[in-house]
């Protein structure tokens, strides 16, 4: 019964996040909505696991949470540097130039 | 209850697909395709295909989103209006969809133990795995042990493809490197 209620609440929450994702005026609304949706998928897997009485699913839900985190970091890094490979090299470049200038 | 979850997830999938078609902002489309993958991963979990669901989440929602964003950095952020006939594309989609649905009528029922997939070598692997390999997950045993060389070949192919992509895309970062190299030479 408790898991059924949790399932209904998750469905409503997913719908709200989807509305934000479709409408979302700025890019950051959409990034945040995607992250929230990933979290809801984690919860969904957990609830389905407990509803079918197979809590082993919880391991997979944890891995989803990790992927969700890395994905959000990658998207935000892309915004910061406009490129995924160059960010680190460019900041190293700046650091080395700054160090060289002070010597 | 499982029917309710299926209906909700499939309903969200259809909503997401319609939104992907209608939006012209490519960034939003990339985010929505990530959600599409997460929803299909949820459906795979409901159908007990946890391994498939995990691959879908890692590749579809994780890597593809990042790759598509990286591609978008080199192209435009807005989709151009279509130049070809939309009705023709719609007709092709409907015909292919109808053919696929017609194909499912010959398939065995979902989860049936009499399905051909459960009759061929499956029982043999299930019987041998605990004795020979000793891991609880039979799929892992097949992929990493019985078909180990095949998996090694796949890894080699993906590694080669990754190196090729890095080599192709590397030209863009070269100016920064040469600047740093010049700086180093000056220091020496």
Domain range annotation of chain B = 1-81
For residue B78, the cross-strand partners are B25
Q: What is the pLDDT of residues A84-100, one digit of tens each?
A: 555 455 555 555 555 54
Chain A residues with beta carbon closer than 8 angstroms to that of B4: 7
* Average pLDDT for B97-114: 86
Mean pLDDT of chain B, nearest integer: 82
Q: Which of A21, A44, A82 sits opposite B42 (nearest CB)?
A: A44
pLDDT of residue A31: 87
ipTM: 0.76
Using an 8 Å Cβ cutoff, are B176 and A90 in contact?
yes
For residue B25, the cross-strand partners are B78
Q: Which CATH architecture has domain B1-81?
A: Up-down Bundle (1.20)
**Model pTM score:** 0.73
A81: Cβ–Cβ under 8 A, 6 or more apart, which residues?
A87, A90
From residue B61, alpha-carbon distances to B32, B88, B129 in Å are 10, 30, 32
Q: How confident is the model at residue A13 (pLDDT cuts 50, 70, 90)?
A: very high
Q: Distance from A86 to chain B by nearest Cα, in Å?
A: 7
Q: How confident is the model at residue B109 (pLDDT cuts 50, 70, 90)?
A: confident
Chain B residues with beta carbon closer than 8 angstroms to that of A78: 66, 69-70, 73
d(CA B68, CA B27): 9
Domain count within chain A: 1
Domain extent, residue A61, equals 2-102
């Amino acid at each position: 019964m408790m898991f059924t209620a949790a399932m209904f609440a998750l469905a409503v929450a997913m719908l709200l996040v989807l509305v934000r994702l479709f409408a979302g005026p700025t890019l950051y609304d959409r990034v945040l909505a995607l992250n929230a949706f990933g979290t809801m998928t984690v919860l969904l897997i957990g609830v389905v696991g407990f509803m079918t009485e197979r809590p082993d699913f919880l391991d997979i839900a944890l891995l989803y949470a990790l992927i969700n985190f890395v994905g959000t970091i990658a998207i935000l890094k892309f915004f910061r540097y406009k490129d995924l490979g160059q960010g680190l090299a460019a900041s190293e470049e700046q650091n080395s130039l700054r160090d060289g200038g002070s010597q | 209850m499982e029917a309710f979850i299926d209906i909700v997830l499939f309903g969200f999938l259809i909503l997401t697909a319609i939104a992907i078609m209608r939006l012209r902002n490519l960034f939003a489309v990339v985010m929505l395709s990530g959600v599409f993958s997460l929803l299909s991963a949820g459906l795979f979990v409901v159908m007990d295909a946890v391994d498939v669901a995990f691959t879908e989440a890692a590749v579809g929602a994780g890597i593809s989103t990042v790759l598509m964003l990286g591609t978008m950095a080199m192209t435009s952020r807005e989709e151009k209006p279509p130049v070809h006939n939309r009705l023709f594309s719609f007709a092709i989609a409907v015909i292919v969809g109808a053919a696929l649905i017609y194909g499912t009528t010959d398939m065995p029922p979902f989860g049936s133990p009499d399905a051909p997939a459960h009759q061929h070598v499956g029982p043999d692997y299930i019987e041998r795995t605990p004795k020979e390999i000793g891991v609880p997950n039979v799929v892992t045993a097949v992929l990493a042990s019985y078909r180990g060389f095949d998996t090694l070949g796949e890894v080699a192919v993906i590694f080669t493809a990754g190196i090729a992509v890095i080599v192709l895309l590397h030209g863009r970062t070269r100016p920064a490197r040469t600047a740093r190299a010049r700086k180093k030479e000056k220091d020496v």
